[in-house]
Amino acid sequence: MLDQLFIYHPMPWSEQDWARASGLPLEDVWFRAADGTRLFGWYVQASAQAPVVLWCHGNAGNITHRLRNLTRLVRLGLSVFLFDYRGYGRSQGQPSETGLYQDAGAAYSYLTNVRKTLPKRLIVFGRSLGSTVAGHLVSERPAAGLILESSFPSVEHMARTHYFGLPAHWLLRARFDLASHLKRVRVPLLIIHGDRDRIVPIGLGRKVYEQANGPKDFYRVFGAGHNDVTMVGGRPYFQRIIQFITRVTYS
């Protein structure tokens, strides 16, 4: 299927002591999606009272490639649940649009049912393809806020951007229509985008912002591309995130 070739790019798991390598108290979490697919993630608790970030990563790699970001968030006093979609890392199965939505729903259920995380203390973060997964989740489940980084309105918009306006999306089954999901989202929203992103141009991030309901904010990271937003953004980037989370979880 063309979706597997063009959309999903998981990397195999590399066995090592990731807790020791990262210096974080990584807690292994195994959980199941509604269709029974066995999934894997890491939970890191900053404190019992800390807001919790449910992290939906992008279309490539696995959770081991997000450890640097994870470390910065935990040091800011945030608890984080970072999980791999089906077919990524140690998670079983094969990725699909419906499957990824199920996986995020299962991660949410783990936090609220097992960890007893209150929705008013829960922030959903989605990056790139994960933005649509996060947006879909918050369109169906309550949360304190939603953060979208390097997001795009739909696969159709991405296809037309990269294939000279041709309807290349017709060849794909996946739609990842974030714009339609955001019509049902009413929680505070922060959209982050690098202004030199050549994979998902900032204009697509602006379209997401324009089509979303308020309250909403757009944070432009000057000089950042698609994969270096956190590095280029540096301290101001993380300060903007913690300011948003503090406002929506402590207000």
Half-sphere exposure of 113 (CA within 13 A, CB side): 8
CA 110 to chain CA centroid, nearest Å: 16
- Give the whole-angstrom CA distance, residue 104 versus residue 237: 25
Q: Which two tokens stand for residue 31?
A: 């959980």
**Active-site annotation, residues:** 128, 197, 226
The rounded distance, in Å, linking the Cα atoms of 200 and 232 is 16
Reference 26, options 81, 75, 65, 105; nearest CA is 81
- For residue 196 the two structure tokens come to 């030199």
